[in-house]
Structure 1
């Protein structure tokens, strides 16, 4: 299990802030530190940190997304497929319009860089939460 102090001392980028506008789309607490926001680069990049057990709702991205796991352990799942355990060094490429969710394992912090691809195509479509029942089956 990665503890809070261990995580803070081992992350590549600063933790960031808990963002009020995203709280309705997460179960648990997460933090965001936007690293690249300049539209001339056409590639927003955020460092996202999830406390143990935190996960986002099911959602999709109009232009797709890439996740680069930089710390802890977590989960990624596309609709209709088995969940994948994620660890430091894993890379997930998510095509446009694919319904999915990602978040921390129950006993670990989880950190990834979220790269928005093709942002000119649109934003994130937030959907229903991942239920406690769905999530608890992953840890069994």
Structure 2
């Protein structure tokens, strides 16, 4: 981990501690990622920090959906079949349930967001395939 570059990309440092390396979900990320669960009571909220070039696999939040609150760096969000959307600190992404999507860091920047799991009875998360490296490399 390049702490100096991470601090620079995240605007001087992370608002919340980045937590531990995200080993439990490592198979769903293309590279270095960190997770700090701020709360799991009521509404699950986690700080997710992506190293440059790290994205997660396409996934679907069944029933509850997800909200991303970008806290630093530069990254991407894309729903299947839609153009990718660049994300920066202060951006908010409301992801309805049943929408196939991915998100993660730009090639040249660390990226961090709060991931808010929208509560719903029977909510679950389904991990799918990765965006191809060729498609990711086309993003500016």
**TM-score scaled to structure 1, two decimals?**
0.91
Looking at secondary structure, tell me which structure has more helix per residue: 1
RMSD: 1.5
| Count of residues in Structure 1 that have an aligned counterpart in Structure 2 | 135
Indicate yes or no: 2:84 matched with 1:86.
no
Contact 2:7 2:14 in 1 (8 A): no
Match of 1:12 in 2: 15
Shift of 1:8: 8.9
Shift of 1:4: 2.2
Give the distance between the partners of 2:36 and 2:11, measured in 1 at CA: 13
Shift of 1:134: 1.1
Gaps in structure 2 of 5+ consecutive residues: none
- State the 4+ residue runs in structure 1 displaced beyond 4 angstroms: none
Give the distance between the partners of 1:60 and 1:102, measured in 2 at CA: 12
Match of 1:25 in 2: 28
Indicate yes or no: 2:55 matched with 1:49.
no
Q: For residues 28-86 of structure 1, give each alpha carbon's deviation from its aligned partner in whole angstroms, at most 9, with x where no partner exists.
A: 11100000112xx2x10000000001000000101100000000000000011000000
Contact 1:59 1:101 in 2 (8 A): yes
Give the distance between the partners of 1:44 and 1:120, measured in 2 at CA: 14
Match of 2:70 in 1: 69
Shift of 1:92: 0.1
Q: For residues 76-133 of structure 1, give each alpha carbon's deviation from its aligned partner in whole angstroms, at most 9, with x where no partner exists.
A: 0001100000000000000001000000000000000000002433221000011111
